[in-house]
Structure 1
Amino acid sequence: MDPARRWADEAVRELVADATRSADTHLLRFPLPSSWGVDLYVKDESSHPTGSLKHRLARSLFLYGLVGGRIREGGTVVEASSGSTAVSEAYFARLLGLDFVAVVPSSTSRRKVELIEASGGRCELVDAAAGIGAAARELAARSGGYYLDQFGLASIATDWRGNNNIACSIFEQLADERHPVPAWVVVGAGTGGTSATIARYCRYTRRPTRIAVGDPEGSVYAQAWRTGRRDLVGPGSRIEGIGRPAVEDSFLPEVVDEVLAVRDGASVAAMHAVSAVLGIAPGPSTGTNLVAALHVVERMRAAGERGSVVTLLCDRGDRYRDSYYDQEWVRARGIAPEPYRDAVEEALATGRCAGLLVGGEPA
């Protein structure tokens, strides 16, 4: 066996070993009144070694590059990301002895840059946030490296048929619950890869589970799902990790059953509610997920359905202590969670959701 193939084989072994150690994150029960007949679960993806749901995606992107012969020993890998994906990719690059560069907007907070650097990566700052993808692709070409391309490859690189992906893990962990096949799985969409993976796995295994996506203000995914258009352009999301100003290749509206546009203030208010109920402070995208999940629960109850709903705790709040957990920072960005706190508490206590979605006023 030639040395390049031998190195690639060892690199794949390292990534598979990481999956064996860390893929089955905890599935937590989110307490709802038992009389509702609907059980809500939260899969805690923050317990991955790099602290977020993006650990799975980063591993898949590296495996995709390795088995395709494009990632080579001692090479450079590049990504366009200033968030959790870059942190996870830096971790895997260091594990494999590769140089990792994250191309990030110059406005990126020092805290985010520090997280990427602490995981072994370095950051290349560019002035225009909209151009980081092109800049990352050009940097990879110039350095003879490999562009990981999370937005283009998320739905392709992940094995939706199983292989202990997130969908497979959810169903295995629910096996002994009173409603082992969830009626709904509720996720956010950044790349769109998570919703695509879970939806395709459910179809492949012939399960009736439906997929809902929580979408923040400014993102185009809700409109794209309603209209079928992929040419939409919007201002972008203020909820880090989810929502996009354009429809990414990995977002597959054809396999999504519902997209709920969630108010940003409601997302932040629900983020704090998750912290109060579970004792785990999450990031803001988890708040978006909770709001969308509560609407799904309300709909099930109105239809007289009993069953289970699963959503995701995407990452921990410690990486947002200087942003979404800072009231001044939140206010400076025009996000007002205060009007939505009572509505979130009402939804948790009575199951009635009001004013939390785009198009509705705060209760």
Structure 2
Amino acid sequence: MIEFAEPAAFVAALCGLPSPDAAALSAARERQGQLTKPAGSLGRLEDIAVFMAGWQGTSRPAADRIRAAVFAGNHGVAARGVSAFPVEVTAQMVANFRAGGAAINALARSCGAELSVIAFDLERPTGDIAVEPAMSEADCLAALNAGAAVVAADTDLLFVGEMGIGNTTPAAALCAQAFGGGAAGWCGRGSGIDDGGVLRKTDAVARALALHTPQCTTPFESLRRLGGREIAAMAGAILAARMLRVPVLLDGFIACAAIAPLVAADPAFADHCLAAHCSAEGGHARLLDHFGLDPLLRLNMRLGEGTGAAVAVHLVRAALGAHNEMATFAEAAVTAAL
């Protein structure tokens, strides 16, 4: 299990990250060229299979052990009226997750993912990022390690999601700090807020950036000052997955914002990730452009929880089914095109 003993260890982990297995990539591409179809005719399904092969280190990758985690936390900035829902909904939805009644429960069952639900001290919201850091060093480190703890080395595919009323506000702040563009460029309607809510959110993010940007000198400090416990946990999980060469399906805007500081520090950080979908949240498409990722799906979803990633698991399974189960030209006694 990956564990970060101190903030410096988290930052140091970003140096020398593993790459995909070159031999497995080559073997998977060679197999694709031998299957009974015109070269490239399965489009992105072929790319997905090769991607999975490289990170799993085998020419015949699998999607048998799929792990998912939903992290939940509350945010002090929510008191500024930046969400359409009261903060009590976070705990209510956690209870729904644990009872198996939420969208992510249904979709995780549908795609065969093992789902964990981790809630962070919901009675103790983070600091209001407009006037103070979201977390202490100890809180941020604990959240990062809780995220890393959900990733096992035998995982074939990982996705993570979140629940936290108001959390598109810290997500927007993280994106603006990482990639510029100002508060207004990253603040959308989130849970369905009106124009006044968008103005309040934009003001909160602008204040947070003015206060914290000079101190956001490392990804850890960006997450600690501008993020939230569930956001840091997703970052810890996705970093641990990279360290263990576990491929990741990225969910929506907030899950992607969690790694914005890491991608800003190392543009190749998200190489082990596929963008499951592009959500309806305005900043998500822009964020994926910064990551250099083309989403697999565009379904106008904006729920979070890992739901978009759960749907995209079916595409990964289809890609691997074709890659592993199709006959080669030689096996089928079909003459290959010259």
TM-based fold match above 0.5: no
Q: RCO greater where, 1 or 2, for CA within 8 Å and sep 6 or more?
A: 2
Whose helix proportion is higher, 1 or 2? 2
Larger relative strand fraction: 1
